[in-house]
Structure formats: C-alpha cells, structure tokens
Homo-oligomer: A and B are copies of this chain.
Amino acid sequence: MKKSRLEAFSDGVIAIIITIMVLELKVPSVVTSLHGDTWSAIWAMWPILLSYVLSFVNAGIYWNNHHHMFYLVENITGGALWANLLLLFWLSLMPFATAWMGENNFSQAPVTAYGIILLMCAISYTILSYVLVSHCGKNSALAEAMGKDWKGKASLGIYAAGIAMAFYKPGFALAMYAIVAIMWFIPDRRIERRVRHSHHPTN
C-alpha cells in the first residue's frame, strides 16, 4: 500500500495534538479573578507554559522524525498502520499528561506520569521503526539511515532514569526529559546529510 494516507493522517493527528494543548492554557480573566488581566496572572502560569513549550518541542520532534523516516519508505504494510496508530495513541495522551503536570506545579506523580507517556511514545516509535526496517530490508536506505539507532536507545534509557528520579526530585526528571529533546533537536542534520548521499528510492 502507498504511504500517502498514513502520512496525511499522522500529520493531521500530530497537528491537532500540538494545537489542542493550547486549549489547556486557561485564560485568566477579570471575571473570575481580581488580577486576571495583569502580568502576574501570566507569570503564575509558568509551570503550565513551560510544560506547553516542552510538549510542543517533543511533538515537533516526533513529527520531524516521522517525516524523515517515512521519506525513506515507499510502501507500507498493515503492521505499519497499527504500529503507527500505537504511536499516535501515546502521543494523543501527551496533552493530558502536559496539563496534569502543568496544573500541579511539577509535583511528583504528574512528572512521573509525563515521563511514562514520553517513554511509551519512544517505545512505540522504536517499534514502528523496526516494523518499517524489517519490511524494507537490511540494505534499504532506511536501514542505513537508522544504523544502530543509538540515539533511540539512549532516549529510552534517559527516560527510564528520569522516571525513576521523579520519585525523589521531579526537577531532575524534567531536566532529563529536556536533555532527550535537546539531543534530538541538535544533531539531526548529520542523518540528513547521510540520507542525501544515499540513493533515494523515489529518485
């Protein structure tokens, strides 16, 4: 089967996930609070805003990586459809975890739950990549580009460490989640360059 509708559907779901998180940013108002129209009402929302930024970046990274990965895939199987839906399921819980964490000032349980959702997303993404690589073959451009996927494996480890740490110091856990985001944010261009040099299936 062709990949176009899977891409379009995933784009739609991720676009909605990334955008509905903003609906959880409840607007302070003079109707409900005496100082609803002051800057301090916004400063008081900093955990909510920080959670939003972190989740926006994470969702952006998933879209970006999804875009890169499927760029190297031509046809998909039924298994890939389901693996993709599993990823979308865990991503769809990100707005909930984000809001729970933000509205409770980064307390222990919400920060742990947020990490678990991030970990489940990462595991689902890994499963999806394995399904695609096993379909495309070991010598495919995708298999080459994925390589040993040390970054994916490291992410799983750091998330697991962050979740364990959240029981003691939620702030440290948050820092670890952020490290994974930064790790994916920065050196992605190396892969891109390799991809550009490898022969592309649709060229």
Give A contacts to B, CB under 8 Å.
Answer: 1-2, 5-9, 11-20, 22-25, 27-31, 36-39, 41-42, 53, 56, 60, 63-64, 67-68, 71, 77-79, 81-82, 85, 88-89, 92-93, 95-96, 99-100, 103-105, 107-110, 113, 185, 188-189, 192
State whether B12 touches A16 (Cβ < 8 A).
Answer: yes
On chain B, the residues within 8 Å of A37 by CB distance are: 100, 104-105, 107-110
On chain B, the residues within 8 Å of A192 by CB distance are: 1, 77-78
State whether A5 touches B92 (Cβ < 8 A).
Answer: no
Task: Give me 12 other A-B pairs in contact (C-beta within 8 A), A19-B20, A78-B192 excluded.
Answer: A1-B71, A7-B8, A12-B16, A22-B96, A29-B104, A30-B103, A37-B109, A42-B100, A42-B109, A56-B89, A64-B78, A78-B188
State whether B28 touches A92 (Cβ < 8 A).
Answer: no
On chain B, the residues within 8 Å of A107 by CB distance are: 30, 37
